[in-house]
Copies of this chain bind each other. A is one copy, B any other.
């Protein structure tokens, strides 16, 4: 049992969400911040805990970024939030059998902010720590859900053909793991590629990939890949395509490369043109860029919490927004329907039984037809059509893997769906 105000993960103890508030702890405050309270890119600790509690609301202050322009229109209305008392008081049982209350659970999942929409109206909104309503927060891998929804739209429009092999679009990828992979294999992450994304392992390939993209400092004398693209062409095959789900961020980067090669439109501009400026987003978003200016499709997006919720609401409405079809309904229906749970099961996510993965959304196949974008350290965009529910949630959890908080988050979202359904 962890001491009061602390939580344990994998045998290590951490201050909980309340006790690690970066404002209370004084991170990056003062002129200059005290030496022990500085968060510098070069120190390679901005994703360490508790620094991460500040960093995920300040990514652009650490690395170069490109703007996702909201356009010139008015922000769309989400309605005025109520007091949310019924949601705060919601009780549920976590996967370990412990009774929990919604409001208290937010501290135990290191929540930075949460917005709940029911039938498109904002029924709950909370902010914690470094996050404010107008401040973009890292979406991490929810970026993938944005990018692949646009990719599936390009497929629907005939701009891309999901049956084509990767080298049809990117001849550079001949001789790599992707030589005989289809675009659809990539979109569903059913790729046999030698690449590890075990975040807790400092030797995992994800960190080499991050260094290639300029998102972690490079050691003196670094001679590795100079960009995401340079990294992608080094990837070697391991296993077959199309047989099992295997979560690897490089797939999204490759998909984004294909989108850019074929359309000529950078991801940041495509997000602006097709989503941000159409949805009445209230803040510009941004995407981290690699050393040659390529936006990181695999996890670089930061957005305001409300704007993340707007994207979820668009998906709940099957792509329709104020009478215009921004994303084809067939694209959303295909995502909501999901893929083969048997292929998902091979990936071994014990906390996610019966799930599947389609176009870079995690499909729960639960009682509310829920599907979700998920990002490390507590990012979640949950869309539950049968409960007419959207939940956008940002966090800065000490542990990267969602497994650290899914035992709370997954049952909380199902309980919330039941509550709003009445």
Contacts and interface: CB of A to CB of B under 8 A. Distances in A.
Nearest to A260: B31
Interface string A278-314: 0000101010010111100000000000000000000
Nearest to A42: B291
Contacts of A38: 292-293
Interface string A53-67: 000001011111111
Nearest to A263: B31
A61 to B, nearest CB: 5
- The A interface, classified by DSSP as helix, strand, loop or mixed, is loop
B69 A60 contact: no
Given A31-B261, A261-B31, A292-B33, A41 B64 contact: yes
A168 interface: no
Assembly stoichiometry (copies): 2
Contacts of A61: 64-66, 289, 293
B257 A134 contact: no
A41 B72 CA distance: 31
Contacts of A69: 134
Interface string A257-273: 10011001000000000
30 contacts: A31-B257, A31-B260, A31-B261, A32-B229, A32-B292, A32-B294, A33-B292, A33-B293, A38-B293, A39-B293, A40-B292, A41-B64, A41-B291, A42-B291, A58-B66, A60-B66, A61-B64, A61-B65, A61-B66, A61-B289, A62-B64, A63-B64, A64-B64, A65-B65, A67-B135, A72-B75, A72-B134, A74-B74, A220-B220, A284-B284
Interface of A: 28, 31-33, 38-42, 58, 60-67, 69, 72, 74-75, 134-135, 220, 227, 229, 257, 260-261, 264, 282, 284, 286, 289, 291-294
